[in-house]
Structure 1
Amino acid sequence: MKKNPVIPFALIAVLGILAMVILSVQGLNQQEEIANGGGEEVALDPEAIAQNCIGCHGGDLEGVEGSGPSLQKIGSKYSEEEINEIIMNGIEGTAMPGGLVSSEEAQVLAEWLAQKQ
């Protein structure tokens, strides 16, 4: 007697469908957890946020002529609150736009930049 060649394919199909059902149920559980505010919170890294600034202020925030001033000692010129205001609203009449980052990211970035003196 010859074995039916369809049986291995049917077995693989059944196992594949079973795996999809199990993973879908697992995904739904995770989706509900995320929607309910569960999960871990990620700490904001000021150096990662500062990557938004390097186009105008340079890779080490050393400034780029004609584009953006150095931010390496910006904390000696502005307070944390002033830096946050500049990040959020920009500086009128200059190339510094406002609103490039969220308010939470702006606060973290302002704290970090204020320490640069």
Structure 2
Amino acid sequence: MTAIHRAQAYFVKILGAAAILALAAGCGGGGVSKTDALQDAPSEVAALYKAECLSCHGNDLQGRVGPNTNLEKVGSRMSADEIVAQIEQGEGVMPAFADQLTKEQIQGLADWLSGKK
């Protein structure tokens, strides 16, 4: 085997190994992905969360604007009615959404989030 053939064979092996590693990295992993965090949400609620809530509350409910924006266990500290009031009226850095979302949308988010314990 010539030096060129050995180099080509080596390159093919490296390329193959890199492809396998790239595929393996994309198949799993530690963190909760957006899909995982929203997997128990009704599709309308998940779409609404992605459109209206994700920028402040994060793709896995972890919160992006301070500790009060973490929703991972919001149902342990707030009832569905309290979550409705928070979404409608806002508080602190959270804006009010009563004029932007329907009562049904707000209730859907609150029902889903109140189950996060």
Task: Please give the TM-score of this superposition, normalised by the length of structure 2.
Answer: 0.56
* 1:3-42 map, 5 Å: none
Tell me the CA shift for residue 95 of structure 1: 1.0
Instruction: Give the Å deviation of 1:47.
Output: 1.1
In 1, the alpha carbon distance for the partners of 2:110 and 2:69 equals 16
AA matched with 1:69:
T
> Aligned-pair RMSD on alpha carbons?
2.0
Among all aligned residue pairs of Structure 1 and Structure 2, give the percentage whose two residues are the same amino acid.
37
> How far apart are the structure 2 equivalents of 1:110 and 1:70?
14
Matches within 5 A, 1:1-117: 45-51=44-50, 52-66=52-66, 69-91=69-91, 94-99=92-97, 100-117=100-117
Instruction: Determine which structure has the larger helix proportion and give its number.
Output: 2
Runs of 4+ in 1 over 3 A off after TM superposition: 65-68
Q: Give 5+ residue unaligned stretches, structure 2.
A: 1-41
Number of residue pairs matched?
A: 73
State whether residues 57 and 63 of structure 1, in contact with CA within 8 Å, keep that contact through their aligned partners in structure 2. Answer: yes
Who wins on radius of gyration, i.e. which is larger?
Answer: 1
For structure 1, list consecutive stretches of 5 or more residues without a partner in the other structure. 1-42
User: Cα offset for 1:102?
Assistant: 1.7
